[in-house]
Amino acid sequence: LRTLILRFVIVGLSEDGLSAKQGLLLWCQRKTEPYKNVKIENFTTSWQDGLGLCALIHRHRPDLINYDELTKNNALANLNLAFDVAETHLNVPKILDAVDIVE
């Protein structure tokens, strides 16, 4: 998950004395804030439905994912879409399996 996020330019991770992990979480929250059904609060359960990853990709490359067609109750498809797009178009290797994240 962090590999995918770190693929994009992240500015200000040490903002306001935050640790890198806290800064990365804040960056994810800011980038996904305008997206419906996405509320990033942590690096575990907040990503299980795949919408957060799809939103991050869409935010930077809206040509790769049609976010408005995604639904919260189709987690495996959302995650697989995000992983496939990241690997194919962003050169981010798939190191996680969607099933492992959903469970």
Each residue's pLDDT expressed in tens, for the chain with a length of 103 residues: 665 555 554 444 555 666 778 888 999 999 999 999 999 999 999 999 999 999 999 999 999 999 999 999 999 999 999 999 999 999 999 998 999 999 8
pLDDT at res. 35: 97
Predicted TM-score (pTM) of the model is: 0.83
CA distance 9 to 69: 26
CA distance 48 to 55: 13
Q: Tens digits of per-residue pLDDT, 17-30?
A: 667 788 889 999 99
Position of tokens 């809206």? Answer: 62
